[in-house]
Structure 1
Amino acid sequence: MSHQRKKLLIDTDPGIDDAMAILAAFNSSEVEVVGLTTVFGNVYTQTATQNAFKILQLAEATQVPVAEGSHVTLKGAPKTWVADFVHGADGFGNMNFESVEGFRWRGTAAEFIVQKVRENPGEVSILALGPLTNIALAMQLDSSIAESAAEIVVLGGAFFVNGNVNPAAEANMYGDPDAADFVFGQSGNIKVVGLDVTHSCQFTGSELSNLRGRGRFGTFLSGITAFYLKYHQDAYDMDSVYVHDPSALAAVLQPSLFTWRSGQVRVLTESVATGMTVMDVGLKRWNNPHGWTDRPKVQVAVAVNAAETTSMLLERMAA
């Protein structure tokens, strides 16, 4: 009997580690990438769309549609900063590749997400690699997609560790905390892969440089990750990079690599700790209702087989 490939829809803000994850997905027999939707985060949304087209060109998958997503947060606030100090102004380590165009879907990212899930109920895995604005907007258009997607795997959060934007918040949650808090309140059909596990997964500088000349994507990935490595050397004093977005892909491909904990999650939307993710881990029966009461329990990754995960991802990136 033939293996059924997962239909994978990737919401993304590429981004160096987004490119790693998406290209690895195209080298993974477990999934069929059915579309990319773009959002602000590592870069502004328009640049994210251009970078998505570049990734699809590299993957020789220009038939895959790209739907441009929101340029503002769920509450309508403009994006005022991007992580150019991590990914470069162009999102690809300031390599300044020539712009390309591909199959641009005419509607919004939220409309595309709704349509794909409606057309394939129970079959579409959504991998959310950026702020959750598009996912929230899609759920507002059609609340049923939260349950009729096969799964929603979210990169984001810092549950029992410090954040990476400030001590409290991880970047994707900080980018649109209202969207994140809304999404986590809609469904238990969600897995969250945050800094608790992505900081355990690292690619060394040697592993990144050794990608050059390997497979369809190795030279491209080796080139763009030089900037990413320099950021990690400066910010963390380490000769390696944290594997964020590809680890979230690994949770789609091989969820058994992770240890999961179930609980209701809230995201702080106003305070010095805006973007902080707080999970009720179920250690107490509460006497009174509170802000976590009656919200669905989501699955949060709290541990990972880092060696097996990074080895598998490097193999997919260089295949």
Structure 2
Amino acid sequence: MKKIILFADTGIDDAIALIYALKNPEIDLIGVVSGYGNINREKTYRNVEYLLELAGRTDIPVIAGATRPLSGEEPVFFPEIHGIEGLGPIDPPIPEERYQNRTNFSKLFGLIKDNPNDLIIVNVGRCTSLAIAHYLSPEVMENVKETYLMGGAFLEPGNASEVAEANFFGDPIAADFICQHAVNLTIVPLNVTRDALLTPREVDLIDSRSDSPLEELIKPILDFYYEVYQQLEPGIPGAPLHDLAALMAALDISGLYSYSKREVRVEHEGNLTYGESIADFRARSSDCYGPNCTRIALGINQNVFVTNVFEILTNDQRTG
């Protein structure tokens, strides 16, 4: 069983990743760090608490993450993609104001120290909270076994700009820092997660098996997400589950991904290339080795992805 701490900015695809983690018997979800990103920090925190309450898993600690990028600039949110509250058409019956003025990184460090060299961090939002943790206590963060990021775009266009993916674009200073300092780092970038699709028919099949309040959220929020993507990328056959794809990388699912290893930097100074993820994929380049070497997912088997997602989201082993 994989012990995982999920760093998220809980919009729609983060929510599906969290639901998957709660239902997967191979995952022991140790905690959730909730920061700004798709929506503000108070709403992301509220959304995590709401989903955990529906799952009957209020025993899982939620840690308040960052409220803005390391640059100090005001973040840009995306209600047009994730809905005003971050969960599409769902309006959680919990006031977001309850979660103002919270910081508790000491709880995060306690979880890591209690599980030395046995915890995996999966970061599916901005890298700010994770970078702050490394800044505050690099000694504790050395006890993290592996780190996975959903972020970047290699050899393909971005989605926040012509060259940059949204998570890295949202805080490229933090993303660059993590790419240089996190050990055993894997990046699952946009060029892979774009193909981690669930079609409306597949969502309907999952919904037909839903038998709990948590599972009944899946269809309305993914229907909302699919309609958004029909505007963003007309004709796309399904909703891309970027964050779930990154979480699944931590599970070593046979045949799901192909990888290459490269050193990665993230541009945080240039105007035209702000937030761009950079690695050397020229013909003469090859896999790298050493502490700054990052494993990058470059291909995904969509059949393996869909089969596994359907199996986990329709089981009743962890929630119900």
**Fold conserved between structures, TM > 0.5:** yes
Q: CA 1:107 to 1:116, structure 2 compared with 1: closer, same or farther past 3 Å?
A: farther
Correspondent of 1:149 among 125, 138, 144: 144
Code of the aligned partner of 1:156: G
The 5-angstrom pairing of residues 1-319 of structure 1 reads 5-79=1-75, 81-99=76-94, 108=103, 110-215=105-210, 216=212, 217-237=214-234, 238-256=236-254, 257-270=256-269, 271-281=271-281, 296-319=292-315
Contact 2:47 2:92 in 1 (8 A): no
Deviations 1:16-54 (A, max 9, x none): 111111111111111111111111111111100000001
How high is the sequence identity, in percent, across the aligned residues?
Answer: 28
What is the distance in 2 between the residues matched to 1:111 and 1:269?
A: 29
Which amino acid in the other structure matches residue 246 of structure 2? A
| Cα-to-partner distance string for 1:147-174 (whole Å, 9 max, x where unaligned) | 4212111111101111111221111001
Measured after TM superposition, the shift of residue 55 of structure 1 is: 1.1
**Retained in 2: the 8 A contact 1:261–1:281?**
no
Any idea what SS the aligned residue of 2:209 has?
coil
What's the TM-score, normalizing by structure 2?
Answer: 0.89
User: 2:318 corresponds to which residue?
Assistant: none
Letter in 1 for 2:239: V
Quote how far apart the aligned CAs of 1:107 are.
6.7
Gaps of 5+ in 2: 316-320
Structure 1: gaps of 5 or more residues: 286-291
CA distance in 1, matches of 2:139, 2:300: 31
CA RMSD, Structure 1 to Structure 2 (Å): 2.4
User: 2:276 is aligned with what amino acid?
Assistant: M
Question: 1:167 is matched by which residue type in structure 2?
Answer: E
Shift of 1:262: 0.8
SS at match of 1:57: helix
Q: Counterparts of 2:11 and 2:57 in 1: how far apart (Å)?
A: 19
Secondary structure at 2:206 match in 1: coil
Code of the residue aligned with 2:267 in structure 1: it is L
Q: Aligned residue for 1:288?
A: none
| Secondary structure at the counterpart of residue 144 of structure 1 | helix
**What do the CA deviations read for 1:63-95 (whole angstroms, capped 9, x no partner)?**
11111111111232221x211111101101132
Amino acid at match of 2:277: T
What code does the residue aligned with 1:275 have? G
In structure 2, the residue matched to 1:289 is: none
Q: Distance in 2 between matches of 1:204 and 1:109?
A: 39
- CA distance, structure 2, for counterparts of residue 165 and residue 314 of structure 1: 29
Distance 1:133 1:117, change over 3 A: same
* 1:110–1:135 Cα contact (<8 Å) kept: no
Checking the alignment, whether the CA contact within 8 Å between 1:114 and 1:141 is kept in structure 2 is no
Per the alignment, do residues 87 and 241 of structure 1 end up closer, same or farther by CA in structure 2, a change over 3 Å counting? same
Number of equivalent positions: 306
**1:309 partner letter:** F
Does the C-alpha gap of structure 1 residues 298 and 112 become closer, same or farther in structure 2, counting only changes over 3 Å? farther
